[in-house]
Chains A and B, each alone.
Chain A
């Protein structure tokens, strides 16, 4: 990719014996929104801190705008960082916070110009009229905006956001998600957004980078990740697949549901059969079907507005989820504690196995 603004080359970071980042290689284009998804401890925050320059990697290089910045201190990189807990200066007002970098850094701007830019940024994040407030006098969502404005005021080419929505309540999180994207589109800078929430990662990223135990395990558009998870772990993090253990041999997978034909499989270090929640079908317990079948007890359902989630117990605490999109018609209702037969079209399953080519 020639348009890459930012490139990681085999970056490794250790804390003692713990490998926080293992040989991470990544290219990021200009004007892109990239989200990093991974469970806690997967190295996503470490990756962000290495890019920001708060941590030095043991091996590998970091390139930014055609320059090797591996040994360049954080503040000379021109990369902005938005902290998870916002890290606002508690004794300063909103405008003093936003203008801090311009006032006390090496911007060399006049105080009138600094104020103009700070006001412009406060306006951009929708906080006009709050310039003189103390940061302890505003709400969590407003603090988030101040933190963003403070970073954007420095006009960085790349903005790193460390779980920026983690400290907000669910309602606010949804609104800030749109807001963040809108602000980014207006400024045309690249955002790298770290999150532990698969919904957030898929919703916000132009591309999603999935990390596990310090290793980048998949990079792709949300659609690619969703339709073709590269490994059982990715499928697991996405939280949209029912996963079955079993064994793959000679084109068929044997698991709790019997044996199903496998037209194609992805190579992985263990045998896992994955079916998307919305590909599951529910039949009466007495029905007969040719496809894979699994007896399960209906537990409960959850109404989500655009769809209904149904939960089944397949025995031994194995929870199976089935999603019914309401656009496809009114949902069937099931009786709690009654047995049903779950099935699906085996061609829509995603199969991982050691045997796959």
Chain B
């Protein structure tokens, strides 16, 4: 009995030592900065100065100004739309890569092809959409040459649409990856079994394949959500400053040294993300599935 206690003691000591680097790192670079942002959001901001006198002024300003609340709703709207489009484009892709392609090698090659755009810098990927979508861009030129349209389509660039197109392309792969992974783990025999029992493709998909891929959908949705909610570059470069997400507000506020307002927006954004992730994690028990 005495020896068991000793082993347990030694194990818990080892556990503590192993935890220390992680705890120190997370405290210094996550917990302390977040606490700091929350604290700064209550500071008093004047045009050229900031003081630590506590005030609710910045918070009041955020929730009473149409610009700020408007940008909160825009962020949520763009997030939901991009979440839907990445899912609509990503799921069939994942279905093909993860389930229909029988060779493991080929499915790995296809996944790598999906990742190739990431070999260039983020900004180049975003900016590359300008010559594609512009008034005299590739899409308009091709459509006009083919005689499908007479006038260039102007809504393609510097609108909400261009932001959605750009974000869908950039974040789609984060949806494809986790879903394809879950699909590739499905035992092919159970699909054969379902077919042998007389279920058609639709039933097999909705009753077997989709439920079993759901953890992948949730993980993909979390990836996409976290990245889209914090976005500012795509909307900055493709909307012509017409679409202001919370991320863009933070950039401008920080740029004009309005630390208190930037902190308020930062806290709001963090809370929104927290709610979204908590919501997704309620759909499936990831600990059980992965």
Hey, which bits of chain A sit against chain B, CB under 8 A? 52, 54, 74-75, 80-81, 83, 85, 87-91, 100-101, 104-107, 150-151, 154
Q: How far is the CA of A104 from the CA of B194 in the complex (A)?
A: 9
Q: How far is the CA of A91 from the CA of B215 in the complex (A)?
A: 12
**Which of B189, B195, B198 neighbours the largest number of chain A CB atoms within 10 Å of its CB?**
B198
The B contact surface, by secondary structure, is helix
Query: In the complex, are the beta carbons of A104 and B196 less than 8 A apart?
Result: no
- What's the minimum C-beta distance from B276 to chain A, rounded to whole angstroms? 25
Query: In the complex, are the beta carbons of A154 and B193 less than 8 A apart?
Result: no
Tell which of A85, A91, A100 touches B189, judged by Cβ atoms closer than 8 Å. A85
Query: In the complex, are the beta carbons of B197 and A54 less than 8 A apart?
Result: no
Hey, which bits of chain B sit against chain A, CB under 8 A? 187, 189-190, 192-200, 203-204, 207-208, 211-212
Q: In the complex, which residue of chain B has the Cβ closest to the Cβ of A147?
A: B193
Query: In the complex, are the beta carbons of B190 and A154 less than 8 A apart?
Result: no
Query: In the complex, are the beta carbons of B198 and A150 less than 8 A apart?
Result: no
Question: Given contacts A104-B199, A105-B199, are A89 and B189 in contact (CB under 8 A)?
Answer: no
Query: In the complex, are the beta carbons of A80 and B196 less than 8 A apart?
Result: yes
Query: In the complex, are the beta carbons of B197 and A104 less than 8 A apart?
Result: yes
Q: How far is the CA of A221 from the CA of B64 in the complex (A)?
A: 89
Question: Given contacts A89-B208, A90-B212, A91-B211, are A106 and B189 in contact (CB under 8 A)?
Answer: no
Tell which of B189, B198, B200 touches A87, judged by Cβ atoms closer than 8 Å. B189
Q: In the complex, which residue of chain A has the Cβ closest to the Cβ of B211?
A: A91
> Could you say which residues of chain B place their CB within 8 Å of the CB of A89?
190, 193-194, 207-208
- What's the minimum C-beta distance from B187 to chain A, rounded to whole angstroms? 6
> Could you say which residues of chain B place their CB within 8 Å of the CB of A105?
197-199
Q: How far is the CA of A85 from the CA of B192 in the complex (A)?
A: 12
A to B contact number (C-beta, < 8 Å):
60
Given A74-B196, A87-B189, A150-B193, 16 additional A-B pairs, CB 8 A: A54-B192, A75-B199, A80-B196, A81-B193, A81-B196, A83-B189, A83-B193, A89-B194, A89-B208, A90-B190, A91-B211, A91-B212, A100-B194, A100-B197, A100-B199, A104-B197
Q: Can you name 20 A-B pairs with beta carbons within 8 Å?
A: A74-B195, A75-B197, A75-B198, A75-B199, A81-B192, A81-B193, A83-B192, A85-B187, A87-B189, A88-B190, A89-B207, A89-B208, A90-B190, A90-B212, A100-B199, A104-B197, A104-B198, A150-B197, A151-B197, A154-B197
Question: Given contacts A90-B212, A91-B212, are A107 and B193 in contact (CB under 8 A)?
Answer: no
Q: Which 3 A-B pairs have the closest CB atoms?
A: A105-B198, A101-B197, A87-B189
Question: Given contacts A87-B189, A91-B211, A91-B212, are A75 and B203 in contact (CB under 8 A)?
Answer: no
Query: In the complex, are the beta carbons of B207 and A104 less than 8 A apart?
Result: yes
Q: How far is the CA of A89 from the CA of B194 in the complex (A)?
A: 9
> Could you say which residues of chain A place their CB within 8 Å of the CB of B198?
75, 101, 104-107, 154
Q: How far is the CA of A80 from the CA of B193 in the complex (A)?
A: 9
- What's the minimum C-beta distance from B160 to chain A, rounded to whole angstroms? 38
> Could you say which residues of chain A place their CB within 8 Å of the CB of B196?
52, 54, 74-75, 80-81
Q: In the complex, which residue of chain A has the Cβ closest to the Cβ of B212?
A: A91
- What's the minimum C-beta distance from A196 to chain B, rounded to whole angstroms? 18
Q: In the complex, which residue of chain A has the Cβ closest to the Cβ of B214?
A: A91
> Could you say which residues of chain A place their CB within 8 Å of the CB of B204?
104
Question: Given contacts A75-B196, A101-B197, A104-B203, are A87 and B212 in contact (CB under 8 A)?
Answer: no
- What's the minimum C-beta distance from A45 to chain B, rounded to whole angstroms? 12
> Could you say which residues of chain B place their CB within 8 Å of the CB of A85?
187, 189
Query: In the complex, are the beta carbons of A87 and B197 less than 8 A apart?
Result: no
Q: How far is the CA of A80 from the CA of B204 in the complex (A)?
A: 17
Q: How far is the CA of A96 from the CA of B131 in the complex (A)?
A: 54
> Could you say which residues of chain A place their CB within 8 Å of the CB of B199?
75, 100-101, 104-105
Q: How far is the CA of A83 from the CA of B200 in the complex (A)?
A: 19
Query: In the complex, are the beta carbons of B207 and A75 less than 8 A apart?
Result: no
Question: Given contacts A52-B196, A105-B199, A154-B197, are A87 and B190 in contact (CB under 8 A)?
Answer: yes
Q: How far is the CA of A71 from the CA of B228 in the complex (A)?
A: 51
> Could you say which residues of chain B place their CB within 8 Å of the CB of A100?
194, 197, 199, 207
Q: How far is the CA of A88 from the CA of B200 in the complex (A)?
A: 17
> Could you say which residues of chain B place their CB within 8 Å of the CB of A107?
198
Q: How far is the CA of A2 from the CA of B211 in the complex (A)?
A: 47
- What's the minimum C-beta distance from A253 to chain B, rounded to whole angstroms? 48
Q: In the complex, which residue of chain A has the Cβ closest to the Cβ of B186?
A: A90
> Could you say which residues of chain A place their CB within 8 Å of the CB of B200?
104
Q: How far is the CA of A100 from the CA of B204 in the complex (A)?
A: 10
> Could you say which residues of chain A place their CB within 8 Å of the CB of B190?
87-90
- What's the minimum C-beta distance from A159 to chain B, rounded to whole angstroms? 11
> Could you say which residues of chain A place their CB within 8 Å of the CB of B197?
75, 100-101, 104-105, 150-151, 154
**Which of A54, A80, A105, A107 neighbours the largest number of chain B CB atoms within 10 Å of its CB?**
A105
Q: How far is the CA of A166 from the CA of B143 in the complex (A)?
A: 62
Q: In the complex, which residue of chain A has the Cβ closest to the Cβ of B198?
A: A105
Q: How far is the CA of A74 from the CA of B196 in the complex (A)?
A: 6
- What's the minimum C-beta distance from A5 to chain B, rounded to whole angstroms? 18
